[in-house]
Copies of this chain bind each other. A is one copy, B any other.
């Protein structure tokens, strides 16, 4: 994962409402939740919530699928794993880790 995409994901998760939305979706598991269900949980006005969810969808952390009248939102687990992988490998390694995985060292 590129640093810029990681930064965009972190930026989106860096809003308390959105982080709560995302956490809620993760707790809900692979089936996710509808926008309305999220609203019931968090009590945020619909337009505000829609705006926040759109941010998460934009950056790929949440996907949406229409099911009749409701829009089902699901967390993107693989992307979240990538993000955590980025943080762990690029921003958390101490000790003597080399800058590059292999090669390039004349």
Contacts and interface: CB of A to CB of B under 8 A. Distances in A.
Interface of A: 3-4, 6-16, 19-20, 22-23, 26-27, 29-30, 75, 77, 80-81, 83-84, 87-88, 90-95, 97, 99
14 contacts: A3-B23, A10-B10, A10-B13, A10-B19, A13-B14, A26-B90, A29-B94, A30-B94, A77-B94, A80-B87, A80-B91, A84-B87, A84-B92, A87-B87
Tell me the number of copies of this protein: 2
A82 B26 CA distance: 19
Contacts of A91: 13, 19, 22-23, 26, 75, 80
B8 A20 contact: no
Contact of A12 (B12, B14, B93, B95): B14
A46 B28 CA distance: 45
B92 A77 contact: yes
Given A29-B95, A80-B91, A84-B87, 11 more contacts: A3-B23, A4-B16, A7-B14, A7-B16, A10-B11, A10-B13, A10-B14, A11-B15, A12-B14, A23-B90, A30-B94
